[in-house]
Amino acid sequence: MGERDQRVNGLLVELGRQIATRWLTTLLIPGLLWVCVAVPACQLGWAHALDPHAAEPLLRWFVSRRPAGQNIALAVAVLMAALGVGMTATGVPAILRLLRPVAARSAPARRLRTARLARWERARRAAEHLEAEALRAADGGSTIVGPQIAQARARQYAISLEEPAHATWVGDRLRANMLRIHRGYGLDVALVWPRLWVILPDSLRADISAVQNSYAAAGVTVGWAVLYAALGLVWGPALLIAVAVLAVAFVRARSATEVLCQLVESATDLYASALADQLHIPCTGVLTPDLGHLVNEVLRKEPPQNPSRFTPRPP
């Protein structure tokens, strides 16, 4: 019993250490940086945004002698403000998710979607033109895919793997992942994934969870960009900081989305047939789209369209 208590205590200590580290890195330290920018921003304002002489009263106030009690109260106030700002930044992504359907129907989103579709169509036509030229040059023989064709297809897929339907690359990448899995196996990813997650090995689930945390961290970075943009209403240079932070969030979100989609597709490739077997659907070899549709029917708890095609094995 003593050894078991030691293991439990060690687990609790490690968990507390991880929570404290995450609390410092995601809330307190970024919040302190924001407060350090907000204080001189409120002092300088737009009128004296880059005037160092306007910050002299603030500097004199900081270096002036004060009682220890006031210094402690000031430190506590700064820490509480930093913590409050950090909690606000973590809540901004949830607000943005609620506004996402409205933003997707807005005029700027439609224009971005139209522009992305036009770019994708131009890249697709250029790649198909090069492939047709290669076919004609081969006189009906085997197709020779040269570097130019590969580069043309790479430019097309860099815009979107499938025909763009969203205003952003991230949205189209997630949609393309669902389309590719449905095309290959007939599976509805939104329906199948919670069940597939249960049978995945711990190592793969840990990798997917780590990438999901990276994606969530990119969303929090967007929250910090929003807070710096709000600070830019008072102090102009804060808008430059907001743009830089938003660029970092954009790069992190794209990278995390690409890795997440690759892992989800890999998990489906490797364990979709195992899921069918767990559901007592006869599956020998690779899962076919017909069997994938049967998996969808079983998980929807609806009777199959053709009962004769599907006879589940007894558990």
Distance spanning both ends of the chain, measured CA to CA:
38
What's 286's DSSP letter?
S
Report percent pLDDT > 70 for the chain: 78
Whether residue 275 is predicted with pLDDT greater than 70 in this model: the reply is: yes
**Which has the minimum average pLDDT: 40-44, 47-51, 254-258, 278-282?**
47-51
Q: Quick check: 113 and 171 in contact, CB under 8 A?
A: no
pLDDT given at position 60: 63
Give the separation between CA 57 and CA 12, rounded to whole angstroms: 48
Q: Return the axis-axis angle of helices 29-44 and 56-63, rounded to nearest 10°.
A: 130
Helices (H), the chain: 2-23, 29-44, 56-63, 68-104, 107-137, 147-159, 169-185, 189-199, 202-231, 237-278, 289-299
**Which has the minimum average pLDDT: 90-94, 115-119, 310-314?**
310-314
3-state secondary structure of 197: helix
pLDDT, average across residues 180-189: 92
pLDDT, average across residues 285-313: 74
What digits encode the pLDDT tens for the residues 28-67?
888 888 888 888 887 777 666 666 666 666 656 666 676 7
Closest CA to 246 of 224, 213, 214: 224
Amino acid letter, residue 270: L
pLDDT given at position 11: 52
Q: Quick check: 26 and 90 in contact, CB under 8 A?
A: yes
**Which has the minimum average pLDDT: 175-189, 257-271, 286-300?**
286-300
> Residue 310: which pLDDT band, with cuts at 50, 70 and 90?
very low
Give the separation between CA 15 and CA 21, rounded to whole angstroms: 10
**Which has the minimum average pLDDT: 4-13, 121-130, 209-218, 223-232?**
4-13
More confident residue, 2 or 41: 41
Q: What is the mean pLDDT of the chain?
A: 82
* Dihedral sign for Cα atoms in the order 169, 174, 180, 186: negative
More confident residue, 88 or 74: 88
Closest CA to 213 of 224, 221, 225, 203: 221
Residues 6 or more apart whose Cβ sits within 8 Å of residue 92: 220, 222, 223, 226, 227
Q: What is the 3-state secondary structure (H, E, C) of 32-46?
A: HHHHHHHHHHHHHCC
> Residue 137: which pLDDT band, with cuts at 50, 70 and 90?
confident
Whether residue 176 is predicted with pLDDT greater than 90 in this model: the reply is: yes
Whether residue 26 is predicted with pLDDT greater than 80 in this model: the reply is: no
What digits encode the pLDDT tens for the residues 195-213?
999 999 999 999 999 999 9
Amino acid letter, residue 153: R
| Cα–Cα distances in angstroms (integers) from residue 117 to residues 35, 120, 131, 200, in the given order | 42, 5, 21, 36
> Residue 99: which pLDDT band, with cuts at 50, 70 and 90?
confident
| Cα–Cα distances in angstroms (integers) from residue 132 to residues 128, 139, 140, 145, in the given order | 6, 11, 11, 10
| Cα–Cα distances in angstroms (integers) from residue 283 to residues 55, 159, 197, 264, 286, in the given order | 73, 36, 19, 21, 8
Q: Quick check: 137 and 129 in contact, CB under 8 A?
A: no
* b/e sequence 237-269, b meaning 16+ C-beta within 10 Å: bbeebbeebbeebbebbeebbebbbebbbebbe
Q: Quick check: 272 and 292 in contact, CB under 8 A?
A: yes
Q: Model-level pTM greater than 0.85? A: no
- Residue 187 CA from chain centroid, whole number: 22
pLDDT given at position 54: 60
